[in-house]
Structure 1
C-alpha cells in the first residue's frame, strides 16, 4: 500500500506520500519549510497528526491511570512509530506493548527496554526467532503471553536460545480470541511454566475487547464475566508464585474504565501486583469508533480523576486528519476526492469531512454539506448538498475512524502545530 521508497532516518524522499518534490530534504529542516496542507503545499493525500491534541490525550489518560491505580504500556501496533512510543514512555507510560516478534524487533532497535508481547508467538520455530532477538538485547525486561503448554514450550525455547533464566510468562485467558478458555487449560499452562527451567510466572493477561458483541448489554455482561475469570486466574497464579511481583494486564480499549474498576482493587489488596492496560489507539482518538466509545464511557459516569468527573467525549480530541483534494465534480450532487481505501481506514466507518479550504482560506460551513458515501482504491465518493459550492481543487480535511487501520497505510505521518503548519515527520515502521 506504500511506495517502495526508503526512509533512512535523516532525509525525506520525494517518493514518500505526502512529501512535496524536494527529494533529500534534511529532517531537521522540515519546520523551516512552513508547509501547510490547507494551502496545498503537500502532495495530497496526506495523513497528519495534531501535536497538541495528541499531547492532551496523552496527559489526560496518564492522569486518569494514576488516579485509577493502573499503569499503561501503550500498544505500539497502532502507529508503529518508535518516536511516539518513546514520547509516551517519557511522559510516564510503564513500557510498550507489541503484537509480534517483528514489532518487538523494531522497538528494541529503537531503544525500548520494557516490552509486553501481547500475543502468543506460535511454535518452536517462532521461539527460536524470539530467542535470537532477545539474545541481542540481554538488558530488556520482557513479558509474553501463553495460553497452553504448547505456547509455553515456544517461550521456553526462546529463553534457551537467549540464555535467559527469567523470561516472564503472562497466563492469558480469553473469550472470542486467543486465551485459555477454562480452568483446566489455565492449570495446564501454569504447570508448564513452573516445569520450565528458564521461565517464570509473571502474571495474567486478557483482552476484554474480544468479548464485545453487537449488543451493548450483552457486551457488558460478557466483559464482566471475563474480568471475574481474570481475577480468579490471578489468584491461581499468585498461589503458584507467592513472592513474585505480578502483572494483571488487560487491553483497556474502549472499556478501560470498566477494566480498572474490576482489577485495580485486587492489585492494591495484593500489594505486589500492577494492573497494566495496553491502550494505544485512544491517544489518537477519532471521529468514529472511539468517539462512540467515549460517549459510552460518559454514559457509564465519565472519567473520574482525583475525585472530579470529566466527560470523555469532551476531553479526548481527535488527533489525526486525512487531507485530500477535490478532483472532479462530474455531476450534480457528486464530488470525487483524491483518496481511497489505500489511504484511509473504513472497517469501522467512513471518513468524515471536517473542514474545506480554497486557496488556503477555510470555507465556513461547507464541510457540513458533504458526506463520504463509498471508497474505491484511490477515489472517495462524496455526496454534495445542492446548495454547496464545492469546487475542483478545494482541499478537505477528513476525520477518520479506527486509528490502527488508518496509520498502517502510511510510511510517514506529518505533525502539525496549532496553526496547521508541519513541524516534523514521524516515520512508521510497519512490516
Structure 2
C-alpha cells in the first residue's frame, strides 16, 4: 500500500520543524503556508529551492535521454520519498539505496523497483528480499562480488524465494567488487545454475577508482575501469536471466564518460546510470566535475 508523504504525521524525527507542528500532518501544516523565519522553525535548517531542485532533475533526465540511458538515482543523498518521486516522474527507471533498511522506507512509499547498491550478506535481509521479490509487489536487485558471498546468498534464500543479482566489478585498491574477469564468469555460472537466482547484469562504481579526476590521466582511469565493466558484461551475458541485461555504473561526477564507454557493450541491454548527488549537490565541488553546469 502506497503511503502519501503529505499524510505523514510530524514528530520529533522531523528535524527543524516547529514544536507546535508535532502531531499535525504535513499537508495540514503546509496548508497554513509557514514562513521559515517567523513560524518557529528550529535552526540550523537546510532549505532546498524547489525551482533549482526541479531544474536539476529535468537536466539529468534530458541528459540520460540524449545518451540512451536509464537512471536509478542513489536516493541516500536525500532519503526523501517526495524528491525521489519527482525523479521517478521525470522518467527514472528505479531508485538506488544502500541497505535493506533504506529500501524498506521507499517500499513503504510505493516505489516498485529498488536497487541496493551493495552486497547483502545478512541472513535475515537475504531472506526478506527473497520473500519480497517472490511477492511481485516490488523488485529488489542487489550486488554480489565473490563466490563466498554467493554461497551465503544461496544458503539463506528460501527454497521458493527469488533473488535478482548484479555482479559488481571492482578495481585494484578499490573498496569492493570482483577483481578478476575469470571470477566474473565463475559467479555468473553459479547464479545461472540456481533457479532461485536471476543474473540481472553487471555493475561498478567508477567513483571508487583511485586518482580519478577531470584531467586526461584521470579520465583515462575512468575509461579503463568502464572497459573492465564492459568486458565483464561480455562474459556474463550468456548466463543472464530472461530479463533484459543491465550494464550499470555512474556516480555523480563522470557519468558522461560512463555513458559513452558502457554504450560500447554491443548486446541488447539497459544502460543504467545511478547518479544521485546531482539532485542537490550542484555547488562548487561538483560543478567543476560535471559534464554540464548546474
Which residue in 2 is equivalent to 1:54? 53
2:43 is the alignment partner of 1:44:
yes
Which residue in 2 is equivalent to 1:89? 88
Which residue in 2 is equivalent to 1:179? 177
Which residue in 2 is equivalent to 1:252? 251
Deviations 1:118-169 (A, max 9, x none): 110125454234335545x4332222211112222233345426x235x322
CA distance in structure 2 between the partners assigned to 1:247 and 1:197 by the alignment? 19
CA distance in structure 1 between the partners assigned to 2:169 and 2:103 by the alignment? 22
Deviations 1:317-346 (A, max 9, x none): xxxxxxxxxxxxxxxxxxxxxxxxxxxxxx
Change over 3 Å in CA distance of 1:127–1:29 after alignment to 2: closer
Q: Is the 8 A contact 1:126 1:154 kept in 2?
A: no
Which of 135, 144, 147 in structure 1 is aligned with 2:145? 147
Which residue in 2 is equivalent to 1:11? 9
Q: When the two structures are superposed, what TM-score results if normalisation uses the length of structure 1?
A: 0.61
Change over 3 Å in CA distance of 1:155–1:138 after alignment to 2: farther
More helix by share: 2
SS at match of 1:118: strand
The offset of 1:224, in angstroms, is 1.4
Map residues 62-101 of structure 1 onto 2, 5 A cutoff. Answer: 62-101=61-100
Deviations 1:81-132 (A, max 9, x none): 1222222112210111111111111122221111112110125454234335
Equivalent residues, number: 286
CA distance in structure 2 between the partners assigned to 1:16 and 1:116 by the alignment? 26
SS at match of 1:46: coil
2:100 is the alignment partner of 1:117:
no
Q: Is the 8 A contact 2:96 2:117 kept in 1?
A: yes
Change over 3 Å in CA distance of 1:123–1:11 after alignment to 2: closer
CA distance in structure 2 between the partners assigned to 1:134 and 1:244 by the alignment? 14
Q: Is the 8 A contact 1:70 1:275 kept in 2?
A: yes
Map residues 175-254 of structure 1 onto 2, 5 A cutoff. Answer: 175=171, 176-213=174-211, 216-241=215-240, 244-254=243-253
Q: When the two structures are superposed, what TM-score results if normalisation uses the length of structure 2?
A: 0.86
Deviations 1:198-242 (A, max 9, x none): 112211000000014276444322211111111111111123349
CA distance in structure 2 between the partners assigned to 1:265 and 1:249 by the alignment? 12
2:175 is the alignment partner of 1:164:
no
Change over 3 Å in CA distance of 1:173–1:113 after alignment to 2: same
Which of 277, 281, 285 in structure 1 is aligned with 2:273? 277
Name stretches of at least 5 consecutive residues in structure 1 with no aligned partner.
1-6, 298-311, 317-431
Change over 3 Å in CA distance of 1:171–1:45 after alignment to 2: same
Deviations 1:169-189 (A, max 9, x none): 211111211100012221221
CA distance in structure 2 between the partners assigned to 1:202 and 1:277 by the alignment? 15
Q: Is the 8 A contact 1:14 1:24 kept in 2?
A: no
Which has the higher relative contact order, 1 or 2, with Cα contacts under 8 A spaced 6 or more apart? 1
SS at match of 2:46: strand
More strand by share: 1
The offset of 1:51, in angstroms, is 1.0
- Return the index of the structure with the highest Cα Rg: 1
Q: Is the 8 A contact 1:116 1:143 kept in 2?
A: yes
